[in-house]
Amino acid sequence: MPVHKRLYNEAIIRLIISPDGPILIKAGEKGADPTLPDMEFVRTYHDGRWTVYLPGSSLKGVLRAHCERIARTVGGEQLACDPLDPRKSCSAKLKQKAQNGAEAYRQSCFICQLFGNTSLASHLRLTDGYPLGEVKTEERNGVAIDRVFGSVAVGPFNYEVCTEGEFQITIHVKNFTIAQLGLLALVLRDLEAGRIGVGFAKSRGLGRVKAKLDSLVVRYPTSQRQGNAISLIGTKREVGQNDQILGIGCFLSDEERQDYGCTVSDWAPLPQGIGYEENEWGELELALDAPEAIKAVFRNCVSQWREVAKP
Ligand SMILES: [Zn+2]
């Protein structure tokens, strides 16, 4: 059975994102209601009411772009293709000949391995971000248009921004490598530090957000623990220890590792005092909600990313 049809590990990261100033994620099409602003914030029906929200697809694009920026800075095109390049993107190169899943994975750049391309499914999924409580939206116009949009503005138009509120989003990563988690950790650090903008007119001062880590769950649905050893249910093959966080490389056979280009040392030590428990389904799970503990786990994953990024 191909590796991507199995589930070895899974990380579920929950974040709270709030605007730090005005943000605007535009609705796709202008609605028919003439009383609404020309550029209104995207809305959805959730929990019995219409509400502004942060679409997961839009946030995923933001995370991918920042991952690419970091990866390209340290490793050039080897680590991050330009997904829009019609000749040199992984999608374009892989399209030229039929690939099996392992080949498509191995021949994709580091970023495509995590976020996917036209030949490879994404390992990362984001939920839409719904507000936890009240949100504040405002309509802007007049002088602010010139300041924000500069000479791009054609005629007077209104736009709607969200200025207050807390949006909860969840990132699911399955069959991850520790290096992937390490790069993601750096991106979440930058998001938390306010270095990543979201939505419309980022270069003109809109889109500043604050983020905080809410919880992290790491799960191995097909593994069990005996003493300190973690093994695959069924094969009894030991894949790691209770004080390690395990990437997909730990779970594969030698042959599969070669096919997928994974390393056997795909693990990082867990910070002291942090280990796995069995959840109510009997699955091996690490569940953290203290931001400092989550960051400590993430920090330990970054060295694997540095290994990958080494020239
Ligand atoms: Zn790529």
Phi, psi of 187 (to 5 degrees): -70, -40
Distance 14 CA to ligand 1 centre (A): 26
For the entire predicted model, the pTM comes to 0.91
Q: How far apart are CA 123 and CA 117, in angstroms?
A: 11
> 118 is written with which tokens?
């036209």
Distance 21 CA to ligand 1 centre (A): 34
> 223 is written with which tokens?
């593994």
Q: Over 70: is that where the pLDDT of 306 sits?
A: yes
Distance 89 CA to ligand 1 centre (A): 6
Distance 116 CA to ligand 1 centre (A): 8
What pLDDT is attached to residue 96? 85
What pLDDT is attached to residue 29? 53
Distance 227 CA to ligand 1 centre (A): 40
What pLDDT is attached to residue 38? 63
Distance 113 CA to ligand 1 centre (A): 7
What pLDDT is attached to residue 57? 92
Distance 257 CA to ligand 1 centre (A): 20
Phi, psi of 252 (to 5 degrees): -85, 160
Q: How far apart are CA 175 and CA 23, in angstroms?
A: 33
Distance 247 CA to ligand 1 centre (A): 20
* Higher-confidence position of 213 and 96: 213
Q: How many structural domains is the chain composed of?
A: 1
Mean pLDDT of 216-232: 94
In terms of Cα–Cα distance, which of 219, 21, 273, 292 is closest to 138? Answer: 21
Q: Over 80: is that where the pLDDT of 204 sits?
A: no
Strand 167-174 to 10-19 pairing: antiparallel
Distance 84 CA to ligand 1 centre (A): 10
* Higher-confidence position of 65 and 206: 65
Distance 176 CA to ligand 1 centre (A): 16
Q: Over 60: is that where the pLDDT of 146 sits?
A: no
What pLDDT is attached to residue 7? 94
Distance 103 CA to ligand 1 centre (A): 13
Distance 253 CA to ligand 1 centre (A): 25
Residues 70-126 have pLDDT tens digits of: 999 988 788 999 999 999 999 999 988 778 889 999 999 999 999 999 999 999 999
Residue/partner pairs of 101-104 with CB below 8 Å, 24 or more apart: 101/2, 101/3, 101/4, 102/2, 102/3, 102/256, 102/259, 102/260, 103/259
Distance 226 CA to ligand 1 centre (A): 39
Burial class of 124 by CB neighbour count within 10 A (0 to 12, 13 to 18, 19+) = buried
Distance 263 CA to ligand 1 centre (A): 19
Phi, psi of 288 (to 5 degrees): -125, 140
What Cα–Cα distance (Å) separates residue 42 from each residue in 15, 154, 236? 20, 22, 49
Q: Over 50: is that where the pLDDT of 144 sits?
A: no
What Cα–Cα distance (Å) separates residue 26 from each residue in 55, 234, 266? 10, 49, 40
Mean pLDDT of 5-21: 95
pLDDT band per the 50, 70, 90 thresholds, residue 147: low
Q: Over 50: is that where the pLDDT of 209 sits?
A: yes
In terms of Cα–Cα distance, which of 60, 72, 112 is closest to 91? Answer: 112
Q: Residue 20 corresponds to which amino acid?
A: D
Q: Over 90: is that where the pLDDT of 303 sits?
A: yes
Mean pLDDT of 148-156: 53
Distance 278 CA to ligand 1 centre (A): 36
Distance 221 CA to ligand 1 centre (A): 29
Distance 87 CA to ligand 1 centre (A): 12
Q: Which domain holds residue 128?
A: 3-309
Exposure on the CB side of residue 196, measured as CA atoms within 13 A: 22
In terms of Cα–Cα distance, which of 191, 206, 201, 217 is closest to 17? Answer: 191
Distance 232 CA to ligand 1 centre (A): 31
Q: How far apart are CA 240 and CA 223, in angstroms?
A: 10
pLDDT band per the 50, 70, 90 thresholds, residue 32: very low
In this structure, the number of other CB atoms found within 10 A of the CB of residue 97 comes to 7
Mean pLDDT of 257-283: 93
Distance 90 CA to ligand 1 centre (A): 4
Q: How far apart are CA 254 and CA 267, in angstroms?
A: 16
What pLDDT is attached to residue 143? 46
